[in-house]
Every structure is written in structure tokens, then in C-alpha cells.
Amino acid sequence: MNKTTLAEFLTHAELAEPALRGMITDIAQACKAIAVQVNKGSLLGTMGSLEAQNVQGETQKQLDVISNDLFLQMNQQGGHYAGMASEEMDEPYLIPERYRQHGRYLLLFDPLDGSSNVNLNLSVGTIFSILRCPHGISEPLVMDFLQPGSAQVCAGYALYGSSTMLVLTIGQGVHGFTLDQDSGDFVLTHATMQIAASSNEFAINMARQRWWDAPVQRYIADCQAGSEGPLGKDYNMRWVASMVAEVHRILIRGGVFMYPVDARTREAGGRLRLMYEANPMAWLVEQAGGLASDGQQRILDITPQGLHQRVAVYLGSREEIQRMATYFKA
């Protein structure tokens, strides 16, 4: 059986941005290095938490910092980026001058999504998003990163689960590559991934139910009512506490993922980060035929106001997201 490697896929793809070939290759190498660290975490003694907190006010895991450093180091050397921004850093990272002389792009990333799961040996991942650097800017500031998700030129994630996968879009559908441990190559195993239009599965943190707004309360209550309720079908609920794992499941078998604004997160604007999580995942979902909304508008149309801005997220199967929108308009 012929196997198409990531390198071969990129060679034959019609790339609107030729530099994407090198950028995606560097990202893939960084994800392989992070996968090794995740797999060997207990053996290396790097599974614990640090005393430090990141800009989000979250206690950092040792693997958060290790993954962040690996992603910076392995992606700056290709010379493609003028700057990078990470969920783990307060301010943008300015690429050393020797690497950014010709950098025309910006890289945003969450180095280890779902890191609270690492001690449980559950799936975690890395999320990334590539933007063009504004023309004439060689030392990008925060404002240069504040572009809507519709401006992305590449987005994707790596999933560190039973196998390591790289899933990405360059605006021509969504494709998944599985790491062959023997050859060290990412191999195309999930071409042109599509999200089922309808679904009977939802993912939400039910522990926060008492703080949800009325539209979310009504929608989940109708789902729980099952075939005897107004939606006329029985639903299953899932929750992994890793956005990468949740979105990957939706790409494979459909469903919806929800992280609403609630009474506890309203002041912050929500729980998930627009630039590092919502935008790249929203573009992947849309490229696979699904929808992504903050409850009021398309996520990819939001104009960011801050590097670490938070938003509500509802994404997944088209019919369910459209149905949910009617609850917000009622």
C-alpha cells in the first residue's frame, strides 16, 4: 500500500503561500519532540506542577514550559517568522535577529492543551495558528497579532494519544497525518476529514451547569430529555477536558463541543482563548463542514482586542450549532 507522507503531501499541494511547506515541516518536528517528552514524562520526572502561574492565572506544569520552549526553539530557526505568541507567555516572543531577517509570518500556539490530563495518561495536544505579519513590520507588537481568525493561512493541532497525529488545514480541507514510529514520518491517514452534519453527541463541562445562561440551560435540558423531548432523539455526553481531544472526536464522528460564558467567567469573557484555541479550531471545523460560533457571531469574524482574549465557544456538527443559535435568539 502506498503511503503519502507529510513531506510528499506538501510537495504536491497547491500552496498559496510557498513558505508553508517549511513552516509546517518545522511544526511537525516540534510536535514530534513534544510527543517524546509527553510519552517519557514519568520516566523523566517532568509530570509535576511548578510554583509559577502563566498569564492566564493557571498553574503551569513542567511539561507546559518544556513544550513551550521546544516549540519556540524548533520553529524560529527556519527564518519564516517575525514573531511568535504563546498561551504560556505574557508578551509576544521576538525572534532573534539572525532568524527573522526575512520573516513574513506570525505563529500563535498553545504548546500543551489539556495539560491537567498529563498525570492521568489521557490525551493532550498542541494547537497552532499562522498569520501573515503586516507588511513592513520586522519587530511585531501585540497589535500586529490582533487579526481575525479569517486571516489565518494555516491552523491545526497535534494529538498525543494512543498514536501521535497532526491535523491541519491550509484552507483546502482538513487532513490528518499519523506518526509512523518506525520511519519517523507523519503519514496521511485521514484525508479530507468531514464532520457529520447531524449528531446526537455533545461535550460540555456539566459541573458548571448552575452558572450557565438560560439558552445553554434550555439546550442541554432538551438534549437530556432524549427521544421523548422536543429534539426527538437520545444524546450522549462526553467530556475529556482537552480541547484537542474534543475537536478530534468531532472530526472523526461528529458532535458538538461547548464552553459557554457563565456567571463565573463572564468578567474574563469566557474560558477559552480566542487566538490560541478558538480561532484555529474554528477554522478546522469550518473547513470540515461544521460551524463555530461564540453564541452571537461566527468566531472567525471576531476582531481580537487582546492577545489573551477569551471567548465562548460552540462548535461542531452544522445542524446542532444552527439549532443552538435558535436558543440564543429566543
Q: Which residue has the cell 427521544?
A: 227
Query: Cα dihedral sign for 321, 326, 329, 330?
Result: negative
Q: Was 115 annotated as part of a binding site? A: yes
- Residue 234 is labelled as binding a ligand: no
Interatomic CA distance for residues 118 and 299, integer angstroms:
29
91 is in an annotated binding site: no
Q: Is 97 annotated as a binding residue?
A: no
116 is in an annotated binding site: yes
Determine if residue 110 is labeled as part of a ligand binding site. yes
205 assigned binding-site residue: yes
Phi, psi of 329 (to 5 degrees): -90, -15
Binding-site residues for Mg(2+): 87, 110, 112-113, 277
Q: Binding site residues, as ranges?
A: 87, 110, 112-116, 205, 277
| Residues annotated in a binding site for substrate | 113-116, 205
